[in-house]
Amino acid sequence: MLAAAALALSLFGSHAKTAAAPAEVHYGVGRWRIDVHRDSFTGRLSCKVHGQDMKVQRNSVIFHLAAGVETTHAWFKIDAAPARPVSEAFAEEEANGYFPMRGWIDDPAGGDVALPVSYFDGAYKVMIRASPKYHPKTFHVTGLTAAVAAAKNAGCPAESF
């Protein structure tokens, strides 16, 4: 028995092989997709929660209107609620690290609008208009809260998405 163990160690090495978790796992939660990546070296998880022209980043939902569209003075409506300026969210977005005091992380003419995830609990859609010369763009946010919860349940640290 001891000789068989010594032979096995000499043939296969002293490190036991274990089944590794897959490096990439993808989940779907309604219209949302959750991509979980495990770094094979550090074992750390990084995650992306995203939908069509939307992504969750630092407790914010980033909506992409169109490249080259200035969004600093955009307005948004959640479901049937009255329209509100995106500037009302700037302080909270700054606290989330999206708009630091030193300037924009993302180019304001890059066509993106950032709004706190907390705005969308139970919401179905958000409409965003960059300015009066543009038509509003509709984004379907149904299931966002469930998608963020699913990402956390998958082990994604909050700072990773």
pLDDT tens-place string over residues 114-140: 999 999 999 999 999 999 999 999 999
d(CA 67, CA 110): 5
* Of residues 161 and 52, more confidently modeled: 52
Give residue 29's Cα distance to chain centre. Answer: 13
User: CA of 109: how far to CAs of 37, 62, 69, 89, in Å?
Assistant: 30, 14, 5, 18
Q: Is residue 120 part of a domain?
A: yes
| Statement: the pTM of the whole predicted model exceeds 0.75 | yes
Q: Is residue 99 part of a domain?
A: yes
CATH number at residue 93: 2.60.40
Which residue shows structure tokens 């495990």?
A: 38
Q: Is residue 73 part of a domain?
A: yes
Q: Is residue 4 part of a domain?
A: no
Q: What is the DSSP string of 30-90?
A: TTEEEEEEE-TTT--EEEEEEETTEEEETTEEEEE--TT---TT-EEEETTSPPEEGGGGH
Q: How much is the average pLDDT of 68-90?
A: 92
d(CA 107, CA 120): 24
Q: Is residue 141 part of a domain?
A: yes
- pLDDT exceeds 50 at position 158: yes
Q: Is residue 147 part of a domain?
A: yes
Q: Is residue 5 part of a domain?
A: no
pLDDT tens-place string over residues 25-55: 888 999 999 999 988 899 888 899 999 999 9
Angle at 106 between CA 155 and CA 134, to 5 degrees: 110
* DSSP annotation of 112: E
d(CA 111, CA 22): 35
How much is the pLDDT for 16?
42
Number of domains making up the chain: 1
How much is the pLDDT for 109?
66
Which residue shows structure tokens 């978790």?
A: 21
Strands 54-57 and 60-64, by their bridges, are antiparallel
User: 128: domain range?
Assistant: 22-160
- pLDDT exceeds 60 at position 10: no
CA-nearest of 67, 68, 35 to 51 is 35
Q: What is the mean pLDDT of the chain?
A: 81
Q: Is residue 8 part of a domain?
A: no
